[in-house]
Amino acid sequence: VVISVTKEGVKFSTKGDIGSANIVCRQNTTVAKPEESTIIEIKDPVSLTFALRYLISFTKATPLSNTVTVSMSSDLPMVVEYKIADMGYIRYYLAPKIDEDEDQA
């Protein structure tokens, strides 16, 4: 899955043998339910490719937390953090897939 972050939002893209999919998540602040807000903070645009099987494993911690923070940088692994009230947090780290063309350059 390719995750691209720009000032327009966060785009999740993938394609396979039977089709392709694109989902865009935009910033959203809900006054009535602030816990359902989506906040996107961006310093520089970034687009990285990750193995979907690992991201699916990370989602198993979702029932433990009301919020998830995803941090991405072209220089560092992606960090997925679930804050657990009064206990701490669970953090997952995932390095992006490396394009074979970049290795040969």
- The 10s digit of each residue's pLDDT in 48-77 is 999 999 999 999 999 999 889 999 999 899
Average pLDDT, the chain: 89
- Domains of the chain with bracketed CATH: 2-104 (3.10.150.10)
Whether pLDDT at 104 is above 60: no
φ and ψ at residue 19, rounded to 5 degrees: 165, -170
Phi, psi of 23, deg, nearest 5: -130, 130
Position 101 scores a pLDDT of: 60
36 band by pLDDT with thresholds 50, 70 and 90: confident
Residue from 95, 100, 102, 7 nearest 48 by CA:
95
The pTM of the full predicted model, rounded to 2 decimals, is 0.82
Residue 52 to residue 14: CA distance in whole angstroms: 9
Task: Check residue 20 and give its pLDDT.
Answer: 95
